[in-house]
Amino acid sequence: MKSFLFFKKLTLVGLFFAAVSSSNSFAQDVYTQNTSGPGICDGSAYLDSAVIAVANDIQWIQVNTTIQQGGTYVGDLCEGTYTVTYTDGSGNPITMTFTIGANSPNPCSGFVVYATGSNVSNPNFCDGTASVQVNGGTAPYVYSWSNNDVTSTISNLCVGSYTCQVYDANGCLGTTNVNIGDNSINNVDTTITIINNTFPGDSTLDVIGNQMIEDCNLDIIQIGGATITNATVSNDGVDLTWTLTDLQGNTLATYNVNYPIVIDSNGVYQATVVITCFGKSLDTYQITIVDQVQLSQAVSINENNLEGIKFNNPINEALNVQFPTTGNYNLTIVDLSGKKVAAASYMNVNEASVNTNYLKSGAYLLTVTSGTAQVSIKLIK
């Protein structure tokens, strides 16, 4: 589940009685962005372009204290009530009040489960055990093993693989598995879990996935640490580079892994990679690595020969698009759940207009295609 930043629009109507009539009244607009969570001061506000054209002597104020002199944008705002003042082109003083709220944090953020186990002493015995550890989430937890056990620790296990699903009180789901081997045949293969807290002071916006790769050449006995060392956001998702090191910090292995997910908001995300070797012996070794990564580039920005299109953003009653050349174009608008909310095709045009009056306030993704060219743009209403 993702946490998205929602925009709202506050409108105040200013009436001027000196030298103008009431028919000359006009609306002044300030747009706000809530904080990403309670206690996090990353809210912002900015003036509408119509206001910017006539605004002078701008001041951003909280509790009768000027927090910024000048500028059409103010950031790093905490939850609370603010005002912005300025004089218009006729010298009239204008004051607008707005509120910065907080979006609800993701209740599943930081919820991680992993399992450890002990092998059987002899292939003819079923004396293995397995136990699930839970990080984060909200108790009580519900455990569901593949052998129908419902406790965090299970015993009397034969050689094999066991999967456990864990639900917390918020309905968040974590899945983990453990392989029970035979100590009488193999005593070097094992299961290792490494959990990093790379950004201890920041909240995690979302979990971007769990990917598995196979490597039967890795000497897991030498592993001293593992972490994400590079991240790239693209139209295909997020590419993460995982680096494993020994106890001296020397690189043992590097893996480039793709996570097919759309990143809509800047911030800290959590990812997991599982490195395993099936069939190395009767016991399957496995390394589970959990780490955090700071992502600051929104996906779905594909620069190509359509990058010259112009459009209004935020959108209100209509989306107006001006294309770089006359041609055939297809426009599609989807919401952040992937649901198509608008679509249109145009032949031999250099501009188009799409009715968006019925859309709710929020974020959308506009995709424009022309032949083999395509560009995707995030829209705000």
Q: Which residues pair with 252 in a beta bridge?
A: none
Q: pLDDT value at position 201? A: 66
Distance in angstroms (rounded) separating the CA atoms of residues 99 and 34: 9
Residue 77: partners with Cβ closer than 8 Å, 6 or more residues away: 35, 41, 42, 43, 44, 45, 100
Cα dihedral: 244, 246, 252, 254 (round 10): 20
Instruction: Judge if 89 and 146 occupy the same domain.
Output: no
Q: pLDDT value at position 293? A: 86
Instruction: Judge if 278 and 187 occupy the same domain.
Output: yes
End of a domain among 75, 100, 125? 100
222 inside domain: yes
Residue whose structure tokens are 């490494």: 194
**Burial environment of residue 347 by CB neighbours within 10 A (0 to 12, 13 to 18, 19 or more):** exposed
Instruction: Judge if 274 and 336 occupy the same domain.
Output: no
Instruction: Judge if 121 and 267 occupy the same domain.
Output: yes
**Using an 8 Å Cβ cutoff, are 263 and 294 in contact?**
no
Distance in angstroms (rounded) separating the CA atoms of residues 275 and 218: 9
**Using an 8 Å Cβ cutoff, are 215 and 253 in contact?**
yes
pTM above 0.75? no
Q: pLDDT value at position 19? A: 28
Distance in angstroms (rounded) separating the CA atoms of residues 207 and 142: 20
End of a domain among 72, 100, 128? 100
Instruction: Judge if 20 and 161 occupy the same domain.
Output: no
Instruction: Judge if 118 and 259 occupy the same domain.
Output: yes
Nearest CA to 284 out of 354, 162, 378, 180 is that of 180
Assign residue 37 the CATH number of its domain.
Answer: 2.60.40
302 inside domain: no
End of a domain among 267, 295, 323? 295
Distances 12 to 16, 26, 84, 202 between C-alpha atoms, Å: 13, 9, 12, 35
160 inside domain: yes
Which pairs from 325-330 meet CB under 8 Å and 24+ separation?
325/350, 326/350, 327/370, 327/371, 328/370, 328/371, 329/368, 329/369, 329/370, 330/368, 330/369, 330/370
Instruction: Judge if 154 and 268 occupy the same domain.
Output: yes
55 inside domain: yes
305 inside domain: no
Instruction: Judge if 94 and 154 occupy the same domain.
Output: no
Distance in angstroms (rounded) separating the CA atoms of residues 30 and 61: 14
Instruction: Judge if 16 and 79 occupy the same domain.
Output: yes
Residues in the chain: 381
Distance in angstroms (rounded) separating the CA atoms of residues 374 and 39: 39
Assign residue 347 the CATH number of its domain.
Answer: 2.60.40.3080
Distances 304 to 313, 364, 374 between C-alpha atoms, Å: 20, 20, 7
Instruction: Judge if 95 and 120 occupy the same domain.
Output: no
Q: Which residues pair with 93 in a beta bridge?
A: 87
Q: Where are the alpha helices (DSSP H) in 207-296?
A: none
Q: Evaluate the omega torsion of the peptide bond into residue 260 and state whether it is cis, within 30 degrees of 0.
A: no
- Structurally, the chain folds into a number of domains equal to 3
Tokens of 381: 């209403």
266 inside domain: yes
Q: pLDDT value at position 187? A: 43
Tokens of 209: 């996935």
105 inside domain: no
Note down pLDDT in tens along the chain; length 381 residues. Answer: 333 333 334 433 333 222 222 223 334 478 888 887 778 888 898 888 778 778 888 999 998 888 999 888 999 999 999 999 989 888 889 888 999 988 877 778 778 888 888 888 776 678 889 999 898 888 999 999 999 999 999 999 887 788 899 999 888 888 888 877 766 544 445 677 887 777 766 677 788 888 888 887 887 777 777 889 888 887 778 889 999 887 667 888 999 999 888 776 677 888 999 888 765 554 557 888 888 888 865 433 333 355 567 888 888 888 888 888 888 888 888 876 667 888 888 888 889 988 888 888 887 878 788 876 666 677 788
366 inside domain: yes
SS3 4: coil
Nearest CA to 112 out of 153, 147, 150, 164 is that of 164
Instruction: Judge if 270 and 127 occupy the same domain.
Output: yes
Domain that holds residue 348: 310-380
Instruction: Judge if 72 and 121 occupy the same domain.
Output: no
